[in-house]
Structure 1
Amino acid sequence: MTTFTALTTLTGKPAADALGAAMEDMDPTPMGVGVFEVEDDSGLWEVGGYFEGEPDEVALALLAATFGAKPFVVSEVPETDWVAHVKRELPPVEAGRFFVYGTHDADQLPEGRIGLLIDAAMAFGTGHHGTTLGCLKAYDRLLSDGQSFDDVADVGCGTAVLGMAAAKTGTANVIASDIDPVAVDVAVANMAANDMGDAVTCVTAAGFDDPALSKAAPFDLIFANILKGPLIMLAPDMAAHTKPNGIAILSGLLNEQAEEITSVYAQNGYNLLHHDQIGEWSTLTLGKET
């Protein structure tokens, strides 16, 4: 069955949510509908649907006009051998002592490296993106410098690859949280795939808003691989949940955003220890003052 996408943009979350809901009532019904903010400070939102078979373009035009959206762009999605695609596009990733790989590359795990099995999934964080890779490299450097951590939080965990890295290097108390329950389900599945049992506690939470996080705090190390806006918003909470002399590893940042984040966190008691860049993405390692 040929698959099609139908995409449009419009201004404002309420209108975008309403359009997404209306698309779900179309005939033929889309396989899925997504509503996403365009991350360029334009105020635009993207609404898209996936269809088995060509969608009703007249119905789409009426929906666009009703909700003040741009005309939908309908595209045919080429059939893809996803297993072959994953093998080709997601080769193993090496980050210091860490080796992130998919099931299809299990035989490539080098002796003496710490393997993190993460298959491509709906949640973000396979290690291939510059932000996740930057966080792993920053953490590896801290370990190489002789640092160790008793209590670690992975905020906005996605696949929980960062929390897993902490647990596999001796941290006894690791908690991973994400606002998306699907991501948390993926994180739990990754624990099982890596034979880690309950080595990482996985919870659905926005920022630090969960009793499990409050109970586990304060932390020696907090990973937050999210986005500029949430990082700014979380700065006071991050400081409140970090031990004196603790560390925060922040990413999800474009290089040009790093200076602003550094300044915001300096106002909340952090010093910049390292600023790493991978392509257009930055990772900041920050130390909390006493």
Structure 2
Amino acid sequence: MLEGLPPNGATHVMRVDAPEHEARAIAEFLGETFDPAEVATAAFEVEDRAEGSGWAVEVYFGEAPDEDGVRELIALVSPQAAAAAVFLLLDKKDWVSASLEGLAPVAIGRFVVHGSHDRGRLAPGQIGIEIEAALAFGTGHHGTTKGCLAAIVAYGKQRRPGRTLDIGTGTGVLAMAAARLFHAPVLASDIDKVAVTTAQANAVANHAAPHIRFLHAPGLGAGEFVRQGPYDLILANILLPPLKAIARPLSRLLAPGGTVVLSGLLPSHANAALAAYRAQGLRLKRRRTIEGWTTLELAADRGRNATPAGTR
């Protein structure tokens, strides 16, 4: 999932409620201003049982931010929001719990990402993915995750993949979605050991574990990626710098005619990612932007050679 939070210890959080258009603008502006390796930004809809739905922005800092400086940046978009911004120091487990409270279930196609409090609200035919507080980022409420889920739904309307690869799995939402929809093997990797542990537990709780193999690995250098491939569907919801860095090895893991889904991209970064993968012979199938984040779907020609799979 979207990377950018410190792997251990406390997290500094800025939160502000704002109308939808302001929340999206604030999140995109701050996301472009700060180093994505140090700061993660999200705009999302929240449900207040008493007052209905609204929008909020949360920004997670690895170190204590300059609060006045952050407010000055927010004021460039909305002076009212700048005055209402609050800064908190939370244990990482606590901020995930807090972020889940009041979040409405996310419905994308047949998928519904929800907390345990909404378990009984699923309609017949929906595929529920239950995510609770954890030590990994990715609850399904971020625009990047929504874009990837929409891409999985679109892919499933055309074909069923033989094998799927989920790079930067986070809480495992995308891996579980692919496993639950396709009932086919999924390899899910993450650079963070905590994320892998969390994703494994989530897969068990969501009855998706039999189809998913989890791997703790930085980049794509581990031999397991080749041994389990090639892949008909590859999901990479990370950020622009690592997406560009893995363009060549990722493309070599793709089966002929396969699809790559890239996310974690601001709209202004999408063309740079696209250029890196076009250089590897992939073509753009679809571009979608949700809540200020862009997801790209790319395809390989059926006659294109992939890295041969090893012993399975």
Q: TM-score, normalised by structure 2?
A: 0.68
Gaps of 5+ in 1: 1-16, 18-30, 50-74
Name the structure 2 match of 1:215.
227
How much does 1:32 deviate? Answer: 3.0
- Quick one: which amino acid aligns to residue 106 of structure 1? R
Q: How many matched pairs? A: 232
- Quick one: which amino acid aligns to residue 213 of structure 1? F
Contact residue 156 and residue 207 of structure 1 kept, 8 A: no
Contact residue 251 and residue 284 of structure 1 kept, 8 A: yes
Contact residue 97 and residue 133 of structure 2 kept, 8 A: no
Name the structure 1 match of 2:214.
202
Q: How does 1:252-271 map to 2 (within 5 A)?
A: 252-271=264-283
- Quick one: which amino acid aligns to residue 231 of structure 2? F
Instruction: Specify whether residues 256 and 195 from structure 1 end up closer, same or farther in structure 2 by C-alpha distance, changes over 3 A only.
Output: same
Q: Distance in 1 between matches of 2:207 and 2:299?
A: 32
Name the structure 2 match of 1:86.
100
How much does 1:119 deviate? Answer: 1.4
Name the structure 1 match of 2:297.
285
Contact residue 97 and residue 132 of structure 2 kept, 8 A: no
Q: Relative to structure 2, which stretch is displaced further, 188-197 or 232-241?
A: 188-197
Q: Distance in 2 between matches of 1:204 and 1:231?
A: 18
How much does 1:162 deviate? Answer: 0.7
Question: 1:232 aligned to 2:209?
Answer: no
Contact residue 220 and residue 242 of structure 1 kept, 8 A: yes
Instruction: Specify whether residues 285 and 107 from structure 1 end up closer, same or farther in structure 2 by C-alpha distance, changes over 3 A only.
Output: same
Structure number with greater Rg is 1
Instruction: Specify whether residues 102 and 231 from structure 1 end up closer, same or farther in structure 2 by C-alpha distance, changes over 3 A only.
Output: same
Q: Distance in 2 between matches of 1:44 and 1:116?
A: 28
Name the structure 1 match of 2:63.
48
Instruction: Specify whether residues 77 and 238 from structure 1 end up closer, same or farther in structure 2 by C-alpha distance, changes over 3 A only.
Output: closer
Q: Distance in 2 between matches of 1:238 and 1:82?
A: 30
Name the structure 2 match of 1:62.
none
Q: Relative to structure 2, which stretch is displaced further, 219-228 or 261-270?
A: 261-270
Instruction: Specify whether residues 47 and 276 from structure 1 end up closer, same or farther in structure 2 by C-alpha distance, changes over 3 A only.
Output: closer
Q: Distance in 2 between matches of 1:85 and 1:41?
A: 21
Name the structure 2 match of 1:106.
119
Q: Distance in 2 between matches of 1:78 and 1:201?
A: 32
What SS class does the counterpart of residue 128 from structure 1 fall into? coil
Instruction: Specify whether residues 81 and 183 from structure 1 end up closer, same or farther in structure 2 by C-alpha distance, changes over 3 A only.
Output: closer
Q: Relative to structure 2, which stretch is displaced further, 78-87 or 191-200?
A: 78-87
- Quick one: which amino acid aligns to residue 298 of structure 2? L
Q: Relative to structure 2, which stretch is displaced further, 91-100 or 165-174?
A: 165-174
Instruction: Specify whether residues 138 and 120 from structure 1 end up closer, same or farther in structure 2 by C-alpha distance, changes over 3 A only.
Output: same
Q: Relative to structure 2, which stretch is displaced further, 236-245 or 162-171?
A: 162-171
Q: Relative to structure 2, which stretch is displaced further, 201-210 or 227-236?
A: 201-210
Name the structure 2 match of 1:179.
191
- Quick one: which amino acid aligns to residue 86 of structure 1? L
- Quick one: which amino acid aligns to residue 107 of structure 1? G
Contact residue 10 and residue 90 of structure 2 kept, 8 A: no
Instruction: Specify whether residues 148 and 182 from structure 1 end up closer, same or farther in structure 2 by C-alpha distance, changes over 3 A only.
Output: same
Contact residue 99 and residue 114 of structure 1 kept, 8 A: yes
Q: How does 1:136-147 map to 2 (within 5 A)?
A: 136-144=149-157, 146-147=158-159
Gaps of 5+ in 2: 1-5, 13-30, 39-60, 65-86, 305-312
Q: TM-score, normalised by structure 1?
A: 0.72
Name the structure 2 match of 1:115.
128
1:62-105 Cα shifts (integer Å, max 9, x gaps): xxxxxxxxxxxxx76599998676331x2210011111111111
- Quick one: which amino acid aligns to residue 154 of structure 2? R
Measured on the aligned residues, the alpha-carbon RMSD in Å equals: 2.9
How much does 1:33 deviate? Answer: 5.4
